Structure 1
Amino acid sequence: MPRLHVTTKNNIGTAHVTVGTDGEQYSCAYSVNGRRIYSPVSEHVMVTITAPPSKPVIRLDQWTGVYVVGERVTITCSVTADDRDKNFHFYRGGQNLSLSQFTTKYDIGTARVTAGTDGEQYSCAYSASVNGRWIDSPLSEHVMVTITAPPSKPVIRLDQWTGVYVVGERVTITCSVTADDRDKNFHFYRGGQNLSLSQFTTKYDIGTARVTAGTDGEQYSCAYSVSGNGRWIDSPLSEHVVVTITDPLKTPVIYLDQATGVYAVGQTITMTCTVTGDNREKMFYFYKGHQQLPFNTSSRNTETFTFPNSGLSHSGQYRCQYRVTVRSRQFDSKQSQAITVAIEEKNPVALAAVVGSALGLILLLALLGVCVWRKGKKENMRETRNAVPSREQNNEHLTYADLILQTNPKGEDCQRDNSHAQSEEYTLYAAVKL
């Protein structure tokens, strides 16, 4: 064994050697100055060589290192291929963390702290036990915790603030955020189930989802995620909104009390608007052309509209419509098919009778004129013969029928005209009776 370099101070001699081979034994002795008298050799000591602890690896549970104030930060310090007993040590800004903040299991030490100040740095080391000696590892690299503001709770709204829709109607849902300019992704939920990305869009601080109204009572909520140095942080869930489904409105039917739709001036016009299979309270409206009439009333299934004294201005086409209010939202039905009202100034039957009477009178006067003209012609012919029958001297007392027979004894000229005259006279009488 080579001679060692030994230093002596008081009663202690010290030798410094470099550890080399495992199991080397060392012993010592001393001599008194001036004489070469040696002491007995001491007991020997054996040097055990062990592998130095390796540099541990430190990690954050969020690889981006981004956390929200107050969020729990989990830090792990891990060692590979070292089955010796270990104690882990964690440091924040060079200050040792208390043992109550971390645990050890196998080759991993875990520390849990609360995110506080932005930019805090953490590192770790460990000690390995070899035959009662604890040997410290080198210090790990450090990791830095970045603190970001927590996302605020978003606000969800329906395009219909009442929340009432008809089956199949388009429902537009918005999820809005204020005072947050970070990149965002919005998420919508129906009954707790995530809606597909194809159903909504994002623009600035507003996410918009469009769905089709289906089942009554469906609940919708939303949330969003913000990006911070590669980490997406989720906001709290919004309040939920409820979609109420109501039955679609049917088209009403309008009809008149007169099936023909023809009325005389002054006659009462009554039109009725009715709906079947819908017992909700309704507000009815009547229209002439495109103009709404100054009438509306509340009913459930049927409503009537009356003109007590009709005039020519009431002629035209009429329609009706109704409105239903569900939780403050108003729904208007389609307008009914049109009905046509016609107003006549006089009674058509009486007018026909008057016209017929006038024509009969004109024909009768014409017939009488022809007969008188023929009678005068005959008399002129008889005067030229200078012979006047005694019976013709009393013509002024004859009836109208006798006059016709005298002027035409054979009845060849005016008999047919006379029959027509009597017929027209009867027609005139009948017309007047009507």
Structure 2
Amino acid sequence: MELTLLLPLLASLQSLPRPVSTAGLLPAPSLSPDRPYTVYLPGERVKLQCADPKGGKAPECRFFYGKGQQSPSTVLQSGPYPMLEFTAEKGRAGTYTCAHWTQGSNQRISENSSSVPISIAAPQLTVSPLRPVYLVGEAVTLTCSAAGVSNLSGIQFYRGGEKNQPQEIPSIRNGSTASIQLLSVAMSDVGVYSCEYWRWKDEKKGRDFVSERSQNIPIAVTAPLPTPQLSVSPQQRVYITGESITLTCSAAGAPNNSMIRFYKDGQTLIPEELCLRPHQATASVWLSAPPQTSTYTCGCWRVESGREIESERSRPISIAVTGSSSKLAPSGDPPSGPVSKGPPLLLTCTAPGDTGERRFHFYKDGLEIVPRGAGSEIDAGEPSSGSVNVPVTRVLKAGPSNMGDFTCGYEKNVSGRWVPSPRSQSVNIPMSEPRTARGFPWARELVVGGAFFLIVELIFLVSHCCLGSS
């Protein structure tokens, strides 16, 4: 059974050619082109000569060809002719070597010659603008150039190995370049592009030569990011210095790896934040700037294939910030310092001189003074004239219960919102004791002592008169 299986194998070994003896290798020949360059234009003739290093004539010469990274191994020509000739055309670029052989029963082979690379001039494909990825709707131009090659008959563009433009391009008949324009690139234009050119020797016989393909240029297309929506909370027509607002940027439909940027007057407001689910990000802004109006926007962006893709900016939101101040000063007799019980005291709240509708407020020990009611010793005064710029006063009936720390403030009507001012600096009004009690204590004692002696004298006179008459 085993012998039956070995018989076909032995028969096949007998049919193989006898191995060439490697003992005593012949010297390696030299291979050289007939021109001092290795890059040829399509249609040019290429001549490679395999010469004996000793100047002799080898009985047989073999030429080997390899393409790409492979070693030259394919036999192109074998015989007593040391010259290899071919036309530079598509498919003939590669690496060439040669070797000598001897005939007879004891065949000998030389070492391979040094390799000679042969390149066929290929067109150059360029794209403008050059970007790693394009947005849907952008314009892209592909240009194929065969510089130095004259009398071209056509240039062909390819996408993914298939013809992208089957018609010949008339413009190249008087030039060596041609272009195709993708005026509004779409997802259907995604692919790898290349080009080639050719020349007719005789239009009836067909093409004379075809160039190698150009380098590949990939065209990647992505959809633009959605335009985000910006909102602010709380919503006011005007804001006060020191208030805080929250900006929310929503980008529904944006990929999860998208980012959000906030802008103030066109400048980046804060570092980027991840566009988290549900595709929104927030930013807290403290309105510490002086009174002004600023414009806020936001945008969504992401990095794809090394290019930063940014959406259009959101609709802007204008934030108006205002600031105000007020002053409180006492007036009357005396205008400041301890006051006595009884005389009225005027507290004047002064607002800035700009026009506008105002409402004034007074405070005692931090609590607002309400308009005067029954039994109240505090009068809720109004402006002393019809003008809102005249200082507003409150009249206090001086007394121990009305002394303390006083402040004031006002509200201004700005675009329908009553904007309060900061509180004024406090004014402390202490109560003094009457000078007749503290400054002259001897007078009080004198009056009391005199009255005592007067009463005693009257009692004595009345007793004497009544007893004598009896």
TM range (shorter): 0.5 to 0.7
In the alignment, the residues of structure 2 paired with residue 272 and residue 131 of structure 1 have an alpha-carbon distance, to the nearest angstrom, of: 106
**Aligned counterpart, 2:115:** none
Q: What SS does the corresponding residue of 1:324 show, helix, strand or coil?
A: strand
The alignment's C-alpha RMSD in Å is 4.9
Question: For residues 269 and 19 of structure 1, what CA distance do their matches in structure 2 show?
Answer: 114
Partner of 1:280: 356
Choose which of 429, 452, 468 in structure 2 pairs with 1:340.
429
- Which stretch of the first structure deviates more once superposed, 232-241 or 63-72? 63-72
2:96 is aligned with 1:96:
no
* 2:405 pairs with 1:321: no
Query: Which residues of 2 match residues 106-121 of structure 1 at below 5 A?
Result: 106-113=175-182, 114-117=184-187, 120-121=190-191
Counterpart secondary structure, 1:112: strand
Inter-partner Cα distance in structure 2 for 1:102 and 1:177: 51
What amino acid does structure 1 have at the position aligned with 2:450?
Answer: G
> In 1, are the aligned partners of 2:194 and 2:217 still within 8 Å (CA)?
no
Q: Structure 1: where are the runs of 5+ without partners?
A: 1-17, 23-47, 373-395, 398-434
Structure 2: distance between partners of 1:157 and 1:220: 10
AA matched with 1:342 = M
Larger Rg: 1
Q: Which residue of 1 aligns with 2:314?
A: 238
Shift of 1:286: 0.9
Retained in 2: the 8 A contact 1:154–1:176?
A: yes
Q: CA deviation at 1:172?
A: 7.8
TM superposition shift of 1:238: 2.8
1:203 pairs with 2:276: no
SS of the residue 1:152 aligns to: coil
- 2:21 alignment counterpart: none
Q: Which SS does the other structure have where 2:271 is aligned? A: strand
Q: Assess, with a 3 A threshold, how the Cα gap between structure 1 residues 272 and 214 changes in structure 2: closer, same or farther.
A: closer
Matched-pair contact (CA < 8 Å) for 2:259–2:273: no
Q: Find the aligned partners of 1:103 and 1:174 in 2 and give their Cα distance.
A: 56
Per-residue CA distance 1:109-145 (angstroms, 9 max, x = gap): 3222343336832433333335555533344455444
| Residue type at the aligned position of 2:249 | S
Distance across 2 between alignment mates of 1:285 and 1:316: 16
Displacement of 1:284 after TM fit? Answer: 1.3
Identify the match of residue 151 of structure 1 among 202, 210, 225. 225
Task: Give the conservation status (yes or no) of the 8 Å contact 1:282–1:325.
Answer: yes
Q: Please list, as runs of the form range in 1=range in 2, the aligned pairs for 1:20-419 lying within 5 A after superposition.
A: 54-61=121-128, 65-85=132-152, 87-93=154-160, 94-97=162-165, 106-113=175-182, 114-117=184-187, 120-129=190-199, 131=201, 134=207, 135-140=209-214, 142-156=216-230, 161-162=235-236, 164=238, 176-179=249-252, 180=254, 181-184=256-259, 186=261, 188=263, 190=265, 195=267, 200-205=270-275, 206=281, 213=289, 216=292, 219=295, 221-244=297-320, 246=322, 248-259=323-334, 262-264=339-341, 270-295=346-371, 299-307=388-396, 312-327=400-415, 328=417, 330-340=419-429, 342=431, 356-362=446-452
Q: CA shift at 1:364, angstroms?
A: 6.2
Going from structure 1 to structure 2, the CA distance change for 1:204 and 1:51 (only over 3 Å counts) comes to: closer
SS of the residue corresponding to residue 314 of structure 2 reads coil
- The residue type paired with residue 115 of structure 1 is V
Percentage identity across paired residues of the two chains? 18
Question: In structure 2, how many angstroms separate the alpha carbons of the residues matched to 1:151 and 1:357?
Answer: 98
- Provide the C-alpha distance between the structure 2 equivalents of 1:241 and 1:330, rounded to a whole number of angstroms: 20
Contact 1:319 1:339 in 2 (8 A): no
Determine which structure has the larger helix proportion and give its number.
1
Contact 2:328/2:427, CA 8 A, preserved across alignment: no
Structure 1 residue matching 2:448: 3-state secondary structure:
helix
Shift of 1:227: 0.9
Match of 1:421 in 2: none
| Contact 1:64 1:229 (8 Å CA) reproduced | no
Per-residue CA shift, 1:216-269, capped at 9, x if unaligned? Answer: 5565545454211111123213323445464x423312324342663536x655
Alpha-carbon distance in 2 for matches of 1:122, 1:183: 27
Question: Do the aligned partners of residues 71 and 82 (structure 1) sit closer, same or farther apart at CA in structure 2, a change above 3 Å counting?
Answer: same
Query: C-alpha deviations, 1:273-300, integer Å up to 9, x for none?
Result: 2235333322211111121222487844
Change (3 A) 1:213 1:359: same
